[in-house]
Structure 1
Amino acid sequence: MLGAFNPGMTRLPNGNLVIFVRIAEALRSPIVNNFVHAIRWDETGKYVLDAWPLEHANTADPRKFLLQGGGWKIMALTSLSWILPVELTPDGLERVAIHYDKAIAPQNSLQVYGVEDPRVSKVGDRWLMTTCSVSPERHSTTLYTSNNGLDFEFADIVLDHQNKDMLIFEGQIDGEYWAQTRPLGDLYFAYPPGSEWRAGPSINLSTSKDALYWKPCLRPGIRPHSGTVATARMGGGTPPILTDEGWLSLWHGVEPKEIVGIYRTYWSIMDRNDPSKILRSGSAPLIEASPELTRPLEHQMYVRDVVFSTGIADAGDHYIVASGEADLACRMTHIPKSAF
C-alpha cells in the first residue's frame, strides 16, 4: 500500500465520525526490465498491469509517470485508489470499526485508474460524496449518495471536465445546492499589471437544483493573491459549513518547490447569501505539514511538505479537521473556533 490519506469525513447519526480514506495501492517495483508499469481495473472486475517502455516515460514524480511524444501531456499512475470507510469516536481520536464491506472501488470504465479524494457533505437528510474518477476516457467528478452517512451508492458523473476539488456546501441557499469547483487546464489568461490576483487555478462556484446538473456561477470565487507565492496554486479543501458569520471554507495553497510543492491549509469566510463575496481570509497558514507526525513512517516517505485538508466537523467550541499528511497517512487536528 502506497498510502491511506485525504479522507472525506462526516458525523454519523450515532454521533461517531466516519472518515472515507483514499487507499492508494502501488507496485513495490513499478520498473522491471526497462518497462514502467501502471495498474488498471478492467470491466471483467480484474486488475491488470500495463507496461510502457521506460525510454518513453518521465518517472521523476513517484506518484505518476509522463509518456512523451504525444504532442500533449499524457500521464499514467503508479498506483490505483479506492475508498475505505473507517468509523471513529466522536472526537476523531480512536478507531471504532473498519467497514471493508462498504468500500467504494472502481465499477465502470470511467474509473479504470481508480476513485480518488472523497469529500462528504450532509445536506438536509442526505449525504453527498464527490469523488475524482480517473480513466483514459476522462478525468471526471462523480457523485455518490447515502441516506445514513455510511452506505453510499454511485449516482452519476456530474462534471465531465478535469476537476480535482468539487466540494458541495453543507446546506442550501434559496433552495439550491452550491459547490466549489476547480477546473484545470494548461492555459490561463493574465490579469492586468498591478492586479491583486495571480493567474492560475482558482476556486470557482457552481449551483444546482438537484446536485446532478451544475451551472457555473458568473462571479469568481476564491482566487490566488499576487502578493504571495505561498498560494500560487490553490484548490478546495473541506466542504463549506455555515457559521454565524457565513460559510467557512478551508482550502489548500501550494508554494512552488521542486516537483510537488509545499501544501498548506488556509481559510476564508464567505457571505451566507452570496458565497462569491469573501468576507475574511486568514493570511497565515491554518495547518502545515508536521514532520514529527510522520517520523515513525520515515522509511515510507515519498513526498514531503504536504498537508491536504479534506473534512471538517463541528465539535462545539472547536472544529475537527481531517487531512492527508504527506500523501501517506490521515491526520486529525482540533482547531478552536477562536482561530477564525
Structure 2
Amino acid sequence: MTFAVDRLVFTPADVDLARSPLRGHIEAETYVLGAFNPGMTRLPSGNLLLMVRVAEALRKPMSGGHIHTIRWEEGEAGNPGRYLLDAWPLEHVDTSDPRKFLMRGGGWKVMALTSLSWLLPVELTPDGLDVVAVHYDRAIVPQASYQCYGVEDARISRVGDRWLMTTCSVSPERHSTTLYSSTDAVEWTLEGIVLDHQNKDMLIFEGQVDGRYWAQTRPLGDLYFAYPPGAEWRAGPSINLATSPDALHWKPHDRPGIRPHAATVSTARMGGGAPPIRTPRGWLTLWHGVEPSGVVGVYRTYWSLLDLDDPATTVATEHAALLEPAAALTETLRDLMYLDNVVFTTGIVDAGDHFIVASGEADLACRITHVPKSAFGL
C-alpha cells in the first residue's frame, strides 16, 4: 500500500556522536551504523517520543589480524562503568553478515556484534514529522552486566498511568528482555529482566484484559516440531502470548498467538512489531514477516486484529503487506547502507482518523507513516 505521509524523520546524520555515552572511553573512531527501530509513545505534552536505537560501530573494526568489538564493563559501587574494546583473531570468525560475526567451531552458534547499541530519546511534533529536541542527557545506556553488549529495540506501551518499555539486553550471560517503567515517559527506571534467554520482540498490550497485563513474545530456537502434512500453519518462530499480574512476572499463555501461515512466504520468519493497541474491532497488532532472500531476507509489516476479551483469537488479518521496504526513502543515504529490503515496525499511536506508525528502515533510519484507520476496516 502507499500512503500520503511516509518519510524518514531521523537518520544517522542527526546523531551527534560528540555527545555519545562512549565518548571519553575508547580512542578508536566510531560512526553511527544505524539510528533505527524506534519505540514510540505520546508524551503528556502531546508531542511524540521516539526512543531511537543508535548502533555505534567502530570505523575500522579490523586491524592487526583481529576484529574488534565494543563492550561495557560494570564498575565498582558508585562507578557508572566504562566502555572498552575486545579483539578476536580473524581466522576464528565468519564476518559475512555486516551486523555481527560468528565464531568458527564449537558445538553451537556463538556470535558477537560489530556495534554497541544505546537508546536516544528524540522528541517530535504531535504529527511525528519534525524533531523538537534530542535528549542526549536522558539516553538509555547499559547499567548491568546483562547489558554489556548494548540495549536494543525499545517498545513503549502506556497502560493506565504508567509507561512500560521493553528492550532487548545483550550479553554473554543471556539474550534477555528487560523492562523499564516511567510515570511521565521522561525519566525511566530499569526494573530488570522479565523474559530470559532469546525471547525477543516482547510487546505489552496498551491496556489490560480482566485486570491482567498481556504481552506478545517471540521465543527463538534452532528446533521446531512439524505440523501435520497439509496443515494451515508452518513450523518456525511465531508470536506467542503471556499474561502477568504486575508486568514483571509473566506466564506463557496456553494457547498460541499468531503463527506463520503455510500459504504466505513472508512468514517464513515472523515476530512482533508495534505494541497492540485497543480499537472497537479488537487489539490492532502490527507485526513483521520475512521472506527468505539473501543474508537477512525481506522484512515487511503485516497487521491482525485480536479479540478484545481473548487475544489468542484473531478476528481479522490480511495476507498482503501493510508496509513494504521503500528504497526511495533511503536513496540519499545510499552510501551508508549495508542492508536493504527491511522495514521493521516498532511503534503506533492514535491520531484521530489515522494512526502514526514508526518503523526502522533498512536498519538505518526512522520512518514515520500515517496510516488511515480505514486500512484496517475501522
Using the size of structure 1 for normalisation, the TM-score is 0.99
Partner of residue 181, structure 1 = 217
1:265 and 2:305 are equivalent in the alignment:
no
| Correspondent of 2:342 among 303, 306, 311 | 306
- 1: CA distance, partners of 2:174 / 2:291: 28
1:12 and 2:48 are equivalent in the alignment:
no
Structure with higher RCO (Cα < 8 A, 6+ apart): 2
Alpha carbons 2:264, 2:319 under 8 Å: kept: no
Aligned alpha-carbon RMSD (Å): 0.6
Superposition pairs for residues 17-56 of structure 1, below 5 Å?
Answer: 17-44=48-75, 45-56=81-92
What SS class does the counterpart of residue 297 from structure 1 fall into? helix
What SS class does the counterpart of residue 308 from structure 1 fall into? strand
Partner of residue 243, structure 1 = 279
Report the AA paired with residue 3 of structure 1: G
- 2: CA distance, partners of 1:299 / 1:253: 27
Partner of residue 127, structure 1 = 163
Specify every segment of 5 or more residues in structure 2 that has no aligned partner in the other structure, as ranges.
1-31, 76-80
What SS class does the counterpart of residue 60 from structure 1 fall into? coil
Off by >2 Å, runs of 4+ in structure 1: none
Partner of residue 84, structure 1 = 120
Partner of residue 102, structure 1 = 138
Partner of residue 250, structure 2 = 214
Partner of residue 145, structure 1 = 181
Partner of residue 236, structure 2 = 200
**Higher mean C-alpha deviation, range 189-198 or range 156-165:** 156-165
- 2: CA distance, partners of 1:196 / 1:78: 39
What SS class does the counterpart of residue 150 from structure 1 fall into? coil
- 2: CA distance, partners of 1:151 / 1:339: 35
What SS class does the counterpart of residue 259 from structure 1 fall into? coil
Per the TM alignment, residue 154 of structure 1 is displaced from its structure 2 partner at its CA by 0.4
What SS class does the counterpart of residue 305 from structure 1 fall into? coil
Aligned sequence identity (%) = 71
| Correspondent of 2:107 among 66, 71, 75 | 71
Report the AA paired with residue 284 of structure 1: A
Report the AA paired with residue 315 of structure 2: L
Per the TM alignment, residue 257 of structure 1 is displaced from its structure 2 partner at its CA by 0.5
What SS class does the counterpart of residue 224 from structure 1 fall into? coil
Superposition pairs for residues 266-281 of structure 1, below 5 Å?
Answer: 266-281=302-317
Per the TM alignment, residue 161 of structure 1 is displaced from its structure 2 partner at its CA by 2.1
Deviation track 1:20-64 (CA, whole Å, cap 9, x = no partner) reads 000000011111122111111111321111111111100000000
Partner of residue 338, structure 1 = 374
What SS class does the counterpart of residue 166 from structure 1 fall into? strand
Specify every segment of 5 or more residues in structure 1 that has no aligned partner in the other structure, as ranges.
none
- 2: CA distance, partners of 1:77 / 1:86: 25
What SS class does the counterpart of residue 55 from structure 1 fall into? helix
- 2: CA distance, partners of 1:53 / 1:260: 25
Using the size of structure 2 for normalisation, the TM-score is 0.89
| Correspondent of 1:293 among 295, 311, 329 | 329
Report the AA paired with residue 271 of structure 1: D
1:322 and 2:322 are equivalent in the alignment:
no
| Correspondent of 1:2 among 33, 39, 43 | 33
